[in-house]
Amino acid sequence: MHNDRWRAIVSRAHVPQMVEDFLTEFGDRYGDAQVSDEELRLTAFEAFAHITDVLTGAMPLEDMEAHSQALGRRRAQQGVELAWLIDAIQLDFTILWSHLRTAAGADQDTLIDHVSQIHSVVTSYNLMVRDAFLLEEARSHNDAQLAHARHVERLFSAEQLDPFDIAEVARALGVGLTDSFDVIVAHPSAAIRLNSLLRSPISTGQAFGHGFRGTFVAFWPMARRPASTQLSSDLLVTVPGVRFPHTAGLEGVRNAARQAPSIFAATGELSMLYDAPELLWAVAGDALANFEHSGINELTRDIDTLRWEHEPVYETLVAFLDSGSVKDTARTLGCHRNTVINRLRQVTDTTGLDISHPKDAAKALLALRRAPH
């Protein structure tokens, strides 16, 4: 008897009138999205019809899934914002509840008894539509990423590329021939991490990313950087790797990707992201280490000892090589100048270098970021 009263209440909630109320209230909230008035009317009718059928038991909840998923996919393809879609579903609930209250009349107790059912059905509908929407967005973005992958692979791996080839890749990626790029190449130990960190901007085409020779290379036109919080995230600084800032054109991007493995061979595993100019000293140090009496290998081991056993001394060495000034080094490290002088003496005791002398400072730079061999 109770279920009969409930079915009677739901049947008195007139679906065509709910559709009209929805259209009046919703207006043009979808803005420039490609949703016609006729389609909006049809999908509103289907939504209310399916929800009321589920409420009365005429349709299993699972059978509503096909409509929900089709709607979510369709709205994603039409460029509807997810927030607008959620607004529409919330409006469905508001209008449905209003009509059910009117239909219940004096039998409000029966309506109250089914509030949790109404909420559960509408929530399930909401989640099914939303999940389908997000999956469709992800699918379309991944398609774009896959389309980019072929061209980026060609950019990095082709033995030779002439200007015509570069222009072809630029057109495929939608970038300019004269664009400047930020390029980050993650050390192989951090390749998965960088890929994960930049998954969103890469999947949406704001950035490009591709695995290459064990590394992961990410790059984007510098003009696009502010468009994504991930591209300017402080987390990027913590990724072990090398950054090539202000890289000129896609040929420069190609060169950076192909040169990074040589840098990593010289530096070994890194602790953070470094700009390329700072690490190129290690590449030069590697080249000089092959010559007899260069002393680079011994110096590299000495500096590595400072790094691991006397960290404050190592930090003082790094800061002094950056500034060349005891005063500036003290300011950078937040310590007294006498402390800096004492630590520099420890550098001399360990390495035999007086880095206040330009030649010794140059030798220290050659070994500073180099991995011991």
Q: Is residue 251 part of a domain?
A: yes
Q: Quick one: tokens of 88?
A: 């529409």
Summarize the confidence of residues 286-309 as an average pLDDT: 91
Are the C-beta atoms of 25 and 19 separated by less than 8 Å? no
The burial class, CB within 10 Å (0-12 / 13-18 / 19+), for 288 is: middle
Same domain, 131 and 254: no
Predicted confidence at residue 226, as pLDDT, reads: 43
The burial class, CB within 10 Å (0-12 / 13-18 / 19+), for 234 is: exposed
Q: Is residue 194 part of a domain?
A: yes
Same domain, 265 and 295: no
- The total number of structural domains that make up the chain: 3
Predicted confidence at residue 229, as pLDDT, reads: 61
* 159: Cβ contacts below 8 Å, ≥ 6 apart: none
Q: Is residue 151 part of a domain?
A: no
- Boundary (domain end) residue, out of 216, 250, 278: 278
Same domain, 50 and 175: no
User: Can you tell me the distance from the alpha carbon of 16 to that of 48, in angstroms, rounded to the nearest whole number?
Assistant: 9
Predicted confidence at residue 130, as pLDDT, reads: 85
Q: The domain that contains 315 carries what CATH number?
A: 1.10.10.2840
- Is the pTM for the entire model greater than 0.75? no
Same domain, 296 and 250: no
Q: Is residue 28 part of a domain?
A: yes
User: Can you tell me the distance from the alpha carbon of 313 to that of 350, in angstroms, rounded to the nearest whole number?
Assistant: 10
Q: Could you tell me the pLDDT band of residue 139, with boundaries at 50, 70 and 90?
A: confident
Same domain, 249 and 322: no
Q: Is residue 146 part of a domain?
A: no
User: Can you tell me the distance from the alpha carbon of 81 to that of 33, in angstroms, rounded to the nearest whole number?
Assistant: 8
What is the extent of the structural domain holding 202?
A: 164-278
User: Can you tell me the distance from the alpha carbon of 23 to that of 278, in angstroms, rounded to the nearest whole number?
Assistant: 62
Residue type, 352: G
pLDDT digits (tens, 9 = 90+) for 177-194: 999 999 999 999 999 999
Question: Residue holding tokens 């901007």?
Answer: 201
Same domain, 304 and 270: no
Q: Quick one: tokens of 302?
A: 């000495």
Summarize the confidence of residues 23-52 as an average pLDDT: 82
Q: Is residue 286 part of a domain?
A: no
Same domain, 116 and 192: no
Q: Is residue 153 part of a domain?
A: no
Q: Could you tell me the pLDDT band of residue 142, with boundaries at 50, 70 and 90?
A: low
Q: Quick one: tokens of 210?
A: 């591709």
Same domain, 302 and 333: yes
Same domain, 58 and 183: no
Give Dmax over CA atoms of the chain in angstroms.
101
pLDDT digits (tens, 9 = 90+) for 193-227: 999 888 888 887 889 999 999 999 999 999 876 45
Paired with 180 in beta bridges are 248
pLDDT digits (tens, 9 = 90+) for 245-288: 999 999 999 999 999 999 999 998 899 999 999 999 999 999 99
Give φ, ψ of 277 to 5 degrees.
Answer: -55, -30
Q: Is residue 285 part of a domain?
A: no
Q: The domain that contains 124 carries what CATH number?
A: 1.10.490
Distance set, CA 186 to CA 170, 207, 298, 331, 366 (Å): 23, 15, 28, 31, 22
- Boundary (domain end) residue, out of 278, 312, 340: 278
Q: Could you tell me the pLDDT band of residue 33, with boundaries at 50, 70 and 90?
A: low
Same domain, 119 and 201: no
